[in-house]
Structure 1
Amino acid sequence: MKKKVTRRVIAIGMFDGVHLGHKRVLKTAVDYAQKNNSETVVLTFDSIPKKQSGVLSTLTEKIRLLKSRGIKKVRILPFNKIKNLIPENFLKLYLKNCFCIVIGYDFRFGKERQGSVKTIKNFCKKVIIVKPVRYKSKIISSTLIKKELISGRIEHANSFLGQNYTFEGKVIEGLGLGKKLGFPTANLTVEKEKLLPEGIFVSKVKIGNKRYRSMTYIGRRPTLGLSAKTVEVYILGFKGRLYGKKISVELLSKIRSDKKFLSVKKLAQRIRKDLKITRRYFEK
Protein backbone atom coordinates (compact mmCIF):
# COMPACT_ATOMS: atom_id res chain seq x y z
CA MET A 1 0.00 0.00 0.00
CA LYS A 2 1.44 3.33 -1.09
CA LYS A 3 2.00 5.95 1.56
CA LYS A 4 -0.22 8.97 1.01
CA VAL A 5 1.86 11.99 0.02
CA THR A 6 0.79 15.19 1.77
CA ARG A 7 0.57 18.13 -0.58
CA ARG A 8 2.61 21.06 0.64
CA VAL A 9 2.14 24.77 0.16
CA ILE A 10 5.53 26.31 0.87
CA ALA A 11 6.05 29.93 1.88
CA ILE A 12 9.69 30.92 1.74
CA GLY A 13 11.52 34.03 2.88
CA MET A 14 13.76 35.64 5.48
CA PHE A 15 10.70 36.80 7.48
CA ASP A 16 12.81 39.08 9.69
CA GLY A 17 10.39 40.75 12.08
CA VAL A 18 7.34 39.00 10.56
CA HIS A 19 5.95 42.39 9.53
CA LEU A 20 2.71 43.22 7.68
CA GLY A 21 4.21 42.29 4.31
CA HIS A 22 5.28 38.91 5.68
CA LYS A 23 1.88 38.40 7.28
CA ARG A 24 0.24 38.84 3.87
CA VAL A 25 2.53 36.12 2.43
CA LEU A 26 1.73 33.78 5.33
CA LYS A 27 -2.03 34.37 5.12
CA THR A 28 -1.95 33.74 1.37
CA ALA A 29 -0.15 30.42 1.94
CA VAL A 30 -2.46 29.30 4.77
CA ASP A 31 -5.62 30.23 2.84
CA TYR A 32 -4.47 28.45 -0.32
CA ALA A 33 -3.50 25.34 1.65
CA GLN A 34 -6.89 25.20 3.39
CA LYS A 35 -8.76 25.51 0.09
CA ASN A 36 -6.68 22.74 -1.47
CA ASN A 37 -6.50 20.26 1.41
CA SER A 38 -2.77 20.82 1.83
CA GLU A 39 -0.39 21.60 4.67
CA THR A 40 1.46 24.91 5.00
CA VAL A 41 5.21 24.79 5.48
CA VAL A 42 7.43 27.83 6.00
CA LEU A 43 11.06 27.75 4.91
CA THR A 44 13.16 30.45 6.50
CA PHE A 45 16.79 31.06 7.41
CA ASP A 46 18.78 30.93 10.63
CA SER A 47 20.56 34.25 10.01
CA ILE A 48 20.61 37.31 7.78
CA PRO A 49 23.34 38.54 5.40
CA LYS A 50 26.29 39.99 7.36
CA LYS A 51 26.04 43.35 5.60
CA GLN A 52 22.66 43.96 7.26
CA SER A 53 22.68 45.68 10.65
CA GLY A 54 20.99 43.62 13.34
CA VAL A 55 17.85 41.49 13.25
CA LEU A 56 14.29 42.53 14.04
CA SER A 57 13.63 39.05 15.40
CA THR A 58 16.03 36.45 16.74
CA LEU A 59 15.52 32.91 15.48
CA THR A 60 13.50 31.98 18.59
CA GLU A 61 11.33 35.09 18.25
CA LYS A 62 10.81 34.48 14.53
CA ILE A 63 9.65 30.90 15.02
CA ARG A 64 7.22 32.04 17.73
CA LEU A 65 5.84 34.82 15.50
CA LEU A 66 5.44 32.44 12.55
CA LYS A 67 3.57 29.89 14.65
CA SER A 68 1.30 32.63 16.00
CA ARG A 69 0.10 33.09 12.38
CA GLY A 70 -1.17 29.51 12.19
CA ILE A 71 2.00 27.96 10.79
CA LYS A 72 2.55 24.50 12.28
CA LYS A 73 5.63 23.49 10.31
CA VAL A 74 8.68 25.77 10.18
CA ARG A 75 11.88 24.54 8.58
CA ILE A 76 15.08 26.46 9.34
CA LEU A 77 17.69 26.55 6.58
CA PRO A 78 21.39 27.30 7.30
CA PHE A 79 21.89 30.61 5.48
CA ASN A 80 25.70 30.58 5.39
CA LYS A 81 25.78 27.04 4.00
CA ILE A 82 23.27 27.57 1.21
CA LYS A 83 23.91 31.18 0.17
CA ASN A 84 26.41 30.02 -2.47
CA LEU A 85 24.20 27.31 -3.99
CA ILE A 86 23.20 27.94 -7.58
CA PRO A 87 19.41 28.59 -7.68
CA GLU A 88 18.57 25.31 -9.45
CA ASN A 89 20.37 23.24 -6.81
CA PHE A 90 18.65 25.16 -4.02
CA LEU A 91 15.25 24.38 -5.55
CA LYS A 92 16.05 20.69 -6.00
CA LEU A 93 17.30 20.36 -2.42
CA TYR A 94 14.59 22.23 -0.55
CA LEU A 95 11.53 22.67 -2.75
CA LYS A 96 11.06 19.37 -4.54
CA ASN A 97 7.60 17.78 -4.54
CA CYS A 98 5.91 21.03 -3.59
CA PHE A 99 2.33 21.62 -4.65
CA CYS A 100 2.57 25.41 -4.52
CA ILE A 101 5.20 28.02 -3.62
CA VAL A 102 4.21 31.37 -2.10
CA ILE A 103 6.76 34.19 -2.14
CA GLY A 104 6.98 37.94 -1.78
CA TYR A 105 7.26 40.05 -4.93
CA ASP A 106 10.99 40.73 -4.39
CA PHE A 107 12.20 37.32 -3.20
CA ARG A 108 15.65 36.35 -4.48
CA PHE A 109 17.86 33.43 -3.51
CA GLY A 110 20.97 31.41 -4.26
CA LYS A 111 24.46 32.45 -5.22
CA GLU A 112 24.73 36.23 -5.65
CA ARG A 113 20.91 36.36 -5.40
CA GLN A 114 20.65 35.00 -8.95
CA GLY A 115 17.44 33.10 -8.25
CA SER A 116 14.25 35.03 -8.92
CA VAL A 117 10.51 34.57 -9.36
CA LYS A 118 11.16 33.45 -12.94
CA THR A 119 13.54 30.70 -11.76
CA ILE A 120 10.91 29.35 -9.36
CA LYS A 121 8.19 29.42 -12.04
CA ASN A 122 10.32 27.14 -14.19
CA PHE A 123 10.54 24.69 -11.28
CA CYS A 124 7.04 24.62 -9.79
CA LYS A 125 3.76 24.80 -11.71
CA LYS A 126 1.89 26.84 -9.11
CA VAL A 127 3.68 29.94 -7.82
CA ILE A 128 1.84 32.71 -5.99
CA ILE A 129 3.59 36.06 -5.93
CA VAL A 130 2.28 38.27 -3.14
CA LYS A 131 2.07 42.01 -3.70
CA PRO A 132 3.77 44.31 -1.17
CA VAL A 133 1.94 46.10 1.63
CA ARG A 134 2.32 49.87 1.31
CA TYR A 135 2.18 52.78 3.72
CA LYS A 136 1.45 55.89 1.66
CA SER A 137 4.13 55.63 -1.06
CA LYS A 138 6.46 53.36 0.92
CA ILE A 139 6.68 49.60 0.66
CA ILE A 140 6.79 48.00 4.11
CA SER A 141 10.02 46.02 4.47
CA SER A 142 12.43 44.92 7.19
CA THR A 143 14.89 47.55 5.94
CA LEU A 144 12.31 50.34 6.27
CA ILE A 145 11.36 49.19 9.78
CA LYS A 146 15.01 49.18 10.87
CA LYS A 147 15.39 52.74 9.61
CA GLU A 148 12.27 53.82 11.52
CA LEU A 149 13.55 52.23 14.73
CA ILE A 150 17.02 53.74 14.46
CA SER A 151 15.48 57.15 13.68
CA GLY A 152 13.29 56.89 16.79
CA ARG A 153 9.97 56.61 14.96
CA ILE A 154 8.85 53.72 17.12
CA GLU A 155 5.13 54.18 16.46
CA HIS A 156 5.72 53.89 12.71
CA ALA A 157 7.87 50.78 13.16
CA ASN A 158 5.22 49.15 15.37
CA SER A 159 2.49 49.94 12.82
CA PHE A 160 4.54 48.36 10.02
CA LEU A 161 5.32 45.30 12.14
CA GLY A 162 1.71 44.80 13.18
CA GLN A 163 2.93 44.38 16.77
CA ASN A 164 5.12 46.29 19.19
CA TYR A 165 8.86 45.96 18.65
CA THR A 166 9.96 43.54 21.35
CA PHE A 167 13.21 42.14 22.67
CA GLU A 168 14.00 39.64 25.39
CA GLY A 169 16.79 39.73 27.92
CA LYS A 170 18.11 38.11 31.05
CA VAL A 171 18.32 40.31 34.14
CA ILE A 172 21.91 40.68 35.32
CA GLU A 173 23.63 42.62 38.08
CA GLY A 174 24.51 46.20 37.07
CA LEU A 175 26.54 49.02 38.62
CA GLY A 176 23.70 49.94 40.97
CA LEU A 177 23.77 53.61 39.93
CA GLY A 178 20.03 53.70 39.20
CA LYS A 179 19.27 52.55 42.73
CA LYS A 180 21.60 55.20 44.20
CA LEU A 181 19.80 57.87 42.18
CA GLY A 182 16.40 56.63 43.35
CA PHE A 183 15.52 54.81 40.11
CA PRO A 184 16.30 51.10 40.54
CA THR A 185 16.53 49.45 37.14
CA ALA A 186 16.71 45.93 35.75
CA ASN A 187 19.87 45.55 33.68
CA LEU A 188 19.46 43.22 30.73
CA THR A 189 21.75 41.19 28.56
CA VAL A 190 20.26 40.82 25.07
CA GLU A 191 21.36 38.61 22.15
CA LYS A 192 24.10 40.39 20.20
CA GLU A 193 22.42 40.18 16.80
CA LYS A 194 19.22 41.91 17.98
CA LEU A 195 18.73 45.45 16.69
CA LEU A 196 18.49 47.82 19.67
CA PRO A 197 17.83 51.48 18.86
CA GLU A 198 19.52 53.83 21.31
CA GLY A 199 17.65 56.32 23.46
CA ILE A 200 15.11 56.54 26.27
CA PHE A 201 11.74 54.95 25.57
CA VAL A 202 8.26 54.51 26.99
CA SER A 203 7.86 50.75 27.18
CA LYS A 204 6.03 47.78 28.62
CA VAL A 205 7.67 44.82 30.31
CA LYS A 206 6.38 41.27 30.51
CA ILE A 207 7.47 39.32 33.59
CA GLY A 208 5.98 35.85 33.57
CA ASN A 209 2.35 36.38 32.60
CA LYS A 210 2.12 39.95 33.93
CA ARG A 211 2.73 43.18 32.03
CA TYR A 212 4.03 46.35 33.66
CA ARG A 213 4.44 49.91 32.49
CA SER A 214 8.06 50.86 32.19
CA MET A 215 10.74 53.20 30.88
CA THR A 216 13.71 51.75 29.02
CA TYR A 217 17.21 53.10 28.49
CA ILE A 218 19.36 51.76 25.65
CA GLY A 219 22.72 53.50 25.41
CA ARG A 220 26.34 53.79 26.43
CA ARG A 221 26.06 55.85 29.66
CA PRO A 222 28.19 58.77 28.42
CA THR A 223 27.70 60.75 31.66
CA LEU A 224 29.63 57.99 33.45
CA GLY A 225 32.37 57.96 30.84
CA LEU A 226 31.45 54.46 29.67
CA SER A 227 31.12 53.16 26.11
CA ALA A 228 29.65 49.64 26.21
CA LYS A 229 26.03 49.43 25.12
CA THR A 230 23.66 48.72 27.99
CA VAL A 231 19.94 48.09 28.44
CA GLU A 232 18.21 49.22 31.64
CA VAL A 233 14.51 49.10 32.46
CA TYR A 234 12.73 51.04 35.20
CA ILE A 235 9.51 49.18 35.99
CA LEU A 236 6.69 51.29 37.40
CA GLY A 237 5.05 49.86 40.49
CA PHE A 238 7.20 46.73 40.63
CA LYS A 239 8.94 45.49 43.74
CA GLY A 240 10.85 42.25 43.78
CA ARG A 241 14.02 40.50 42.70
CA LEU A 242 14.54 39.76 39.03
CA TYR A 243 18.17 38.60 38.84
CA GLY A 244 18.51 35.64 36.50
CA LYS A 245 14.98 35.94 35.13
CA LYS A 246 14.11 36.45 31.48
CA ILE A 247 11.82 39.36 30.70
CA SER A 248 10.56 40.87 27.47
CA VAL A 249 10.41 44.58 26.66
CA GLU A 250 8.05 46.26 24.18
CA LEU A 251 9.10 49.69 22.91
CA LEU A 252 6.14 52.07 22.55
CA SER A 253 7.51 55.58 22.00
CA LYS A 254 10.84 57.39 22.08
CA ILE A 255 11.20 60.08 24.76
CA ARG A 256 14.59 61.44 23.73
CA SER A 257 18.07 60.57 22.50
CA ASP A 258 20.89 59.67 24.87
CA LYS A 259 23.22 62.51 25.87
CA LYS A 260 26.09 63.34 28.19
CA PHE A 261 25.11 65.44 31.21
CA LEU A 262 27.44 67.76 33.11
CA SER A 263 26.91 65.80 36.32
CA VAL A 264 25.14 62.78 37.77
CA LYS A 265 22.82 65.22 39.56
CA LYS A 266 21.77 66.73 36.22
CA LEU A 267 21.21 63.21 34.89
CA ALA A 268 18.93 62.41 37.84
CA GLN A 269 16.90 65.58 37.20
CA ARG A 270 16.42 64.57 33.57
CA ILE A 271 15.41 61.02 34.52
CA ARG A 272 12.68 62.46 36.77
CA LYS A 273 11.40 64.44 33.79
CA ASP A 274 11.53 61.33 31.58
CA LEU A 275 9.46 59.44 34.14
CA LYS A 276 6.82 62.19 34.15
CA ILE A 277 6.60 61.88 30.36
CA THR A 278 6.28 58.10 30.70
CA ARG A 279 3.46 58.36 33.24
CA ARG A 280 1.63 60.93 31.09
CA TYR A 281 1.88 58.58 28.11
CA PHE A 282 0.00 55.88 29.99
CA GLU A 283 -2.61 58.34 31.26
CA LYS A 284 -3.76 59.15 27.70
Structure 2
Amino acid sequence: MPAIAARGLVKTYGKQRALDGLTIEVPEGTVFGLLGPNGAGKSTTIKILTTLTAPDSGTAHVVGHDVTRNPGRVRLAIGCVSQKISVDPWATGRENLVLHGGLYGMRPRDLRRRADELLERFDLKAAADRLTRTYSGGMQRKLDVAMGLIHRPKVLFLDEPTTGLDPEARAAMWTEIAALSRDEGLTILLTTHYLEEADKLASTLAIVDRGRVVALGTPEGLKSELRGDAVQVELAEAGDAMRAQRALERLTTEITAAGRSLRARADDGAAAVPAVLAALDAAGVAVLSVTVARPSLDDVYLRHAGRVFEEVAA
Protein backbone atom coordinates (compact mmCIF):
# COMPACT_ATOMS: atom_id res chain seq x y z
CA MET A 1 0.00 0.00 0.00
CA PRO A 2 1.40 3.44 -0.90
CA ALA A 3 1.99 5.91 1.90
CA ILE A 4 -0.08 8.53 0.03
CA ALA A 5 -2.70 7.84 -2.62
CA ALA A 6 -4.81 10.64 -4.10
CA ARG A 7 -7.12 9.91 -7.01
CA GLY A 8 -9.22 12.28 -9.06
CA LEU A 9 -9.10 15.18 -6.59
CA VAL A 10 -11.32 18.10 -7.51
CA LYS A 11 -11.55 21.31 -5.48
CA THR A 12 -13.25 24.55 -6.49
CA TYR A 13 -13.15 27.90 -4.72
CA GLY A 14 -16.02 30.00 -6.03
CA LYS A 15 -15.65 29.95 -9.80
CA GLN A 16 -11.98 28.94 -9.75
CA ARG A 17 -11.08 25.26 -9.97
CA ALA A 18 -7.92 24.70 -7.93
CA LEU A 19 -7.74 20.95 -8.57
CA ASP A 20 -9.08 19.30 -11.69
CA GLY A 21 -8.76 15.55 -11.23
CA LEU A 22 -5.31 15.44 -9.63
CA THR A 23 -3.90 11.96 -9.01
CA ILE A 24 -0.64 11.05 -7.26
CA GLU A 25 0.74 7.99 -5.50
CA VAL A 26 3.72 8.09 -3.12
CA PRO A 27 5.49 4.82 -2.18
CA GLU A 28 6.55 4.30 1.42
CA GLY A 29 10.03 5.49 2.40
CA THR A 30 10.53 7.80 -0.57
CA VAL A 31 10.89 11.53 -1.16
CA PHE A 32 8.21 12.77 -3.56
CA GLY A 33 8.65 16.22 -5.08
CA LEU A 34 5.63 18.35 -6.00
CA LEU A 35 6.49 21.18 -8.41
CA GLY A 36 4.40 23.79 -10.16
CA PRO A 37 3.82 27.51 -10.62
CA ASN A 38 1.91 29.59 -8.12
CA GLY A 39 -1.78 28.75 -8.38
CA ALA A 40 -1.12 25.31 -9.89
CA GLY A 41 -2.82 23.46 -7.02
CA LYS A 42 0.11 22.40 -4.84
CA SER A 43 -1.11 24.12 -1.67
CA THR A 44 -4.65 22.83 -2.12
CA THR A 45 -3.29 19.30 -2.55
CA ILE A 46 -1.31 19.60 0.68
CA LYS A 47 -4.33 21.00 2.54
CA ILE A 48 -6.44 18.02 1.47
CA LEU A 49 -3.76 15.45 2.35
CA THR A 50 -3.23 17.03 5.78
CA THR A 51 -7.01 17.21 6.47
CA LEU A 52 -7.16 21.02 6.46
CA THR A 53 -9.79 21.04 3.71
CA ALA A 54 -11.99 18.46 2.01
CA PRO A 55 -12.10 17.72 -1.71
CA ASP A 56 -15.28 18.32 -3.67
CA SER A 57 -14.77 14.89 -5.22
CA GLY A 58 -12.10 12.23 -5.48
CA THR A 59 -10.39 10.25 -2.74
CA ALA A 60 -7.22 10.61 -0.69
CA HIS A 61 -5.60 8.17 1.72
CA VAL A 62 -2.55 8.69 3.92
CA VAL A 63 -0.98 5.52 5.40
CA GLY A 64 -4.23 3.76 4.61
CA HIS A 65 -6.54 6.25 6.31
CA ASP A 66 -9.17 8.19 4.38
CA VAL A 67 -8.47 11.90 4.94
CA THR A 68 -12.19 12.71 4.99
CA ARG A 69 -13.53 9.80 7.04
CA ASN A 70 -10.61 9.39 9.47
CA PRO A 71 -8.91 12.80 9.78
CA GLY A 72 -7.84 12.17 13.38
CA ARG A 73 -5.87 9.06 12.44
CA VAL A 74 -4.26 10.89 9.54
CA ARG A 75 -3.14 13.75 11.80
CA LEU A 76 -1.52 11.34 14.23
CA ALA A 77 0.37 9.68 11.37
CA ILE A 78 1.77 12.82 9.76
CA GLY A 79 4.15 15.66 10.55
CA CYS A 80 3.85 19.04 8.85
CA VAL A 81 6.46 21.74 8.35
CA SER A 82 4.95 24.81 6.75
CA GLN A 83 6.76 27.36 4.62
CA LYS A 84 6.56 29.93 7.40
CA ILE A 85 8.66 29.04 10.44
CA SER A 86 6.29 28.25 13.30
CA VAL A 87 8.53 28.13 16.38
CA ASP A 88 7.58 30.24 19.39
CA PRO A 89 10.31 32.91 19.61
CA TRP A 90 9.68 33.44 23.34
CA ALA A 91 10.22 29.77 24.22
CA THR A 92 13.45 27.79 24.23
CA GLY A 93 14.19 25.12 21.68
CA ARG A 94 13.48 22.39 24.21
CA GLU A 95 10.22 24.05 25.30
CA ASN A 96 9.05 24.26 21.69
CA LEU A 97 9.59 20.55 21.24
CA VAL A 98 7.91 19.60 24.53
CA LEU A 99 4.91 21.80 23.81
CA HIS A 100 4.50 20.36 20.32
CA GLY A 101 4.84 16.79 21.55
CA GLY A 102 2.30 17.41 24.29
CA LEU A 103 -0.30 18.22 21.64
CA TYR A 104 0.02 14.60 20.48
CA GLY A 105 -0.49 13.24 23.99
CA MET A 106 3.05 11.92 24.38
CA ARG A 107 4.04 10.69 27.83
CA PRO A 108 6.35 13.13 29.65
CA ARG A 109 9.23 10.64 29.95
CA ASP A 110 9.01 9.62 26.29
CA LEU A 111 8.68 13.24 25.25
CA ARG A 112 11.80 14.36 27.12
CA ARG A 113 13.78 11.47 25.65
CA ARG A 114 12.55 12.21 22.14
CA ALA A 115 13.28 15.94 22.51
CA ASP A 116 16.85 15.20 23.59
CA GLU A 117 17.26 12.82 20.65
CA LEU A 118 16.09 15.42 18.13
CA LEU A 119 18.15 18.24 19.64
CA GLU A 120 21.20 16.02 19.26
CA ARG A 121 20.30 14.96 15.74
CA PHE A 122 19.80 18.50 14.46
CA ASP A 123 22.89 19.86 16.25
CA LEU A 124 20.79 22.07 18.54
CA LYS A 125 21.80 20.61 21.91
CA ALA A 126 24.06 23.52 22.84
CA ALA A 127 21.25 25.99 22.13
CA ALA A 128 18.44 23.87 23.59
CA ASP A 129 17.76 26.20 26.53
CA ARG A 130 18.10 29.49 24.67
CA LEU A 131 15.09 31.47 23.49
CA THR A 132 14.56 30.64 19.83
CA ARG A 133 14.38 34.34 18.91
CA THR A 134 18.16 34.26 19.33
CA TYR A 135 18.50 31.42 16.79
CA SER A 136 19.67 31.97 13.24
CA GLY A 137 17.24 31.28 10.40
CA GLY A 138 18.87 27.92 9.73
CA MET A 139 18.62 26.90 13.38
CA GLN A 140 14.96 27.89 13.53
CA ARG A 141 14.20 25.86 10.41
CA LYS A 142 15.99 22.81 11.85
CA LEU A 143 13.94 23.15 15.04
CA ASP A 144 10.79 23.46 12.92
CA VAL A 145 11.57 20.14 11.22
CA ALA A 146 12.38 18.56 14.59
CA MET A 147 8.96 19.66 15.87
CA GLY A 148 7.34 17.95 12.90
CA LEU A 149 9.16 14.73 13.83
CA ILE A 150 8.57 14.80 17.60
CA HIS A 151 5.76 12.19 17.56
CA ARG A 152 7.53 9.86 15.11
CA PRO A 153 5.20 10.36 12.12
CA LYS A 154 5.12 7.97 9.19
CA VAL A 155 4.73 10.76 6.62
CA LEU A 156 6.32 14.21 6.71
CA PHE A 157 5.03 17.12 4.63
CA LEU A 158 7.71 19.73 3.91
CA ASP A 159 6.44 22.93 2.29
CA GLU A 160 9.42 24.77 0.81
CA PRO A 161 11.66 23.87 3.77
CA THR A 162 14.77 25.78 2.63
CA THR A 163 13.21 29.05 1.46
CA GLY A 164 15.22 31.97 2.81
CA LEU A 165 18.17 29.88 4.00
CA ASP A 166 21.72 30.69 3.00
CA PRO A 167 23.53 28.12 0.79
CA GLU A 168 25.35 26.47 3.69
CA ALA A 169 22.17 26.05 5.76
CA ARG A 170 20.29 24.82 2.69
CA ALA A 171 22.93 22.16 1.98
CA ALA A 172 22.78 21.00 5.62
CA MET A 173 19.01 20.70 5.43
CA TRP A 174 19.28 18.68 2.19
CA THR A 175 21.59 16.24 3.95
CA GLU A 176 19.17 15.84 6.83
CA ILE A 177 16.11 15.36 4.61
CA ALA A 178 17.89 12.68 2.58
CA ALA A 179 18.95 10.90 5.77
CA LEU A 180 15.40 10.88 7.17
CA SER A 181 14.15 8.97 4.15
CA ARG A 182 17.21 6.76 3.67
CA ASP A 183 17.94 5.80 7.28
CA GLU A 184 14.52 5.89 8.92
CA GLY A 185 12.23 4.95 6.05
CA LEU A 186 10.21 8.14 6.46
CA THR A 187 7.96 9.10 3.55
CA ILE A 188 8.40 12.75 2.61
CA LEU A 189 6.24 14.90 0.35
CA LEU A 190 8.27 17.96 -0.60
CA THR A 191 7.20 21.16 -2.31
CA THR A 192 10.02 23.45 -3.35
CA HIS A 193 10.90 26.50 -5.42
CA TYR A 194 14.40 25.17 -6.08
CA LEU A 195 14.76 22.75 -8.98
CA GLU A 196 18.23 21.76 -7.79
CA GLU A 197 16.65 20.72 -4.49
CA ALA A 198 14.02 18.61 -6.21
CA ASP A 199 16.63 17.02 -8.48
CA LYS A 200 18.88 16.14 -5.55
CA LEU A 201 16.30 14.87 -3.05
CA ALA A 202 13.25 13.48 -4.81
CA SER A 203 13.10 9.94 -6.16
CA THR A 204 9.89 10.86 -7.99
CA LEU A 205 8.63 14.22 -9.24
CA ALA A 206 5.19 15.44 -10.22
CA ILE A 207 4.78 18.72 -12.08
CA VAL A 208 1.36 20.20 -11.44
CA ASP A 209 -0.28 22.86 -13.57
CA ARG A 210 -3.89 24.09 -13.55
CA GLY A 211 -4.89 21.49 -11.02
CA ARG A 212 -3.57 18.45 -12.89
CA VAL A 213 -0.38 16.40 -12.95
CA VAL A 214 1.20 17.20 -16.31
CA ALA A 215 4.43 15.22 -15.83
CA LEU A 216 5.39 12.38 -13.52
CA GLY A 217 8.58 10.35 -13.17
CA THR A 218 12.09 10.22 -11.78
CA PRO A 219 14.25 13.33 -12.31
CA GLU A 220 16.54 11.44 -14.69
CA GLY A 221 13.64 9.81 -16.48
CA LEU A 222 11.92 13.12 -17.11
CA LYS A 223 15.13 14.69 -18.39
CA SER A 224 15.84 11.74 -20.68
CA GLU A 225 12.49 12.27 -22.42
CA LEU A 226 13.82 15.50 -23.91
CA ARG A 227 15.73 15.05 -27.15
CA GLY A 228 18.75 17.10 -28.02
CA ASP A 229 20.37 19.99 -26.16
CA ALA A 230 19.18 23.22 -24.59
CA VAL A 231 20.48 26.35 -26.32
CA GLN A 232 20.27 29.59 -24.35
CA VAL A 233 20.95 32.95 -25.96
CA GLU A 234 21.42 36.16 -24.00
CA LEU A 235 20.40 39.12 -26.14
CA ALA A 236 21.81 42.61 -25.86
CA GLU A 237 18.30 44.11 -26.00
CA ALA A 238 15.08 42.61 -24.64
CA GLY A 239 13.18 44.32 -27.44
CA ASP A 240 14.87 42.01 -29.96
CA ALA A 241 13.31 38.83 -28.49
CA MET A 242 10.46 38.54 -31.00
CA ARG A 243 12.77 39.13 -33.96
CA ALA A 244 15.22 36.57 -32.58
CA GLN A 245 12.46 33.97 -32.20
CA ARG A 246 11.44 34.38 -35.83
CA ALA A 247 15.07 34.11 -36.95
CA LEU A 248 15.55 30.77 -35.17
CA GLU A 249 12.29 29.04 -36.11
CA ARG A 250 13.91 26.95 -38.87
CA LEU A 251 16.97 26.02 -36.82
CA THR A 252 15.57 25.11 -33.40
CA THR A 253 12.37 24.01 -31.64
CA GLU A 254 10.49 24.93 -28.46
CA ILE A 255 11.65 28.54 -28.55
CA THR A 256 10.66 30.70 -25.59
CA ALA A 257 11.76 34.14 -24.45
CA ALA A 258 11.86 35.82 -21.05
CA GLY A 259 13.35 39.30 -21.02
CA ARG A 260 16.70 39.17 -22.77
CA SER A 261 16.98 35.39 -22.41
CA LEU A 262 16.00 33.14 -25.31
CA ARG A 263 15.75 29.36 -24.84
CA ALA A 264 15.45 26.73 -27.57
CA ARG A 265 16.19 23.09 -28.30
CA ALA A 266 18.44 21.59 -30.99
CA ASP A 267 19.36 18.00 -31.81
CA ASP A 268 23.06 18.86 -31.63
CA GLY A 269 23.49 22.08 -29.70
CA ALA A 270 27.21 22.53 -30.33
CA ALA A 271 26.80 22.10 -34.09
CA ALA A 272 23.81 24.47 -34.11
CA VAL A 273 25.61 27.41 -32.44
CA PRO A 274 27.34 28.80 -35.59
CA ALA A 275 24.07 28.68 -37.53
CA VAL A 276 22.19 30.29 -34.64
CA LEU A 277 24.69 33.15 -34.43
CA ALA A 278 24.63 33.63 -38.21
CA ALA A 279 20.81 33.75 -38.28
CA LEU A 280 20.66 36.27 -35.47
CA ASP A 281 23.35 38.42 -37.08
CA ALA A 282 21.46 38.39 -40.37
CA ALA A 283 18.34 39.50 -38.50
CA GLY A 284 20.24 42.38 -36.90
CA VAL A 285 19.99 40.93 -33.38
CA ALA A 286 22.96 41.60 -31.07
CA VAL A 287 23.99 38.66 -28.90
CA LEU A 288 25.88 38.73 -25.60
CA SER A 289 26.38 34.98 -25.15
CA VAL A 290 25.26 31.53 -26.25
CA THR A 291 25.42 28.47 -23.99
CA VAL A 292 24.64 24.81 -24.68
CA ALA A 293 23.68 22.25 -22.03
CA ARG A 294 22.19 18.82 -21.67
CA PRO A 295 18.50 18.72 -20.69
CA SER A 296 17.81 19.92 -17.14
CA LEU A 297 14.78 19.93 -14.88
CA ASP A 298 14.24 23.53 -15.91
CA ASP A 299 13.84 22.31 -19.50
CA VAL A 300 11.40 19.63 -18.32
CA TYR A 301 9.43 22.23 -16.40
CA LEU A 302 9.40 24.55 -19.40
CA ARG A 303 8.15 21.75 -21.66
CA HIS A 304 5.25 20.75 -19.40
CA ALA A 305 4.28 23.95 -17.57
CA GLY A 306 4.91 26.25 -20.53
CA ARG A 307 7.11 28.67 -18.61
CA VAL A 308 10.54 28.96 -16.99
CA PHE A 309 10.63 27.81 -13.38
CA GLU A 310 10.65 30.82 -11.06
CA GLU A 311 12.75 30.36 -7.95
CA VAL A 312 12.04 32.43 -4.86
CA ALA A 313 14.68 34.81 -3.62
CA ALA A 314 16.97 33.39 -0.96
Alignment TM-score, normalising by the size of structure 1: 0.25
Higher RCO, 1 vs 2 (CA within 8 Å, ≥6 residues apart): 2
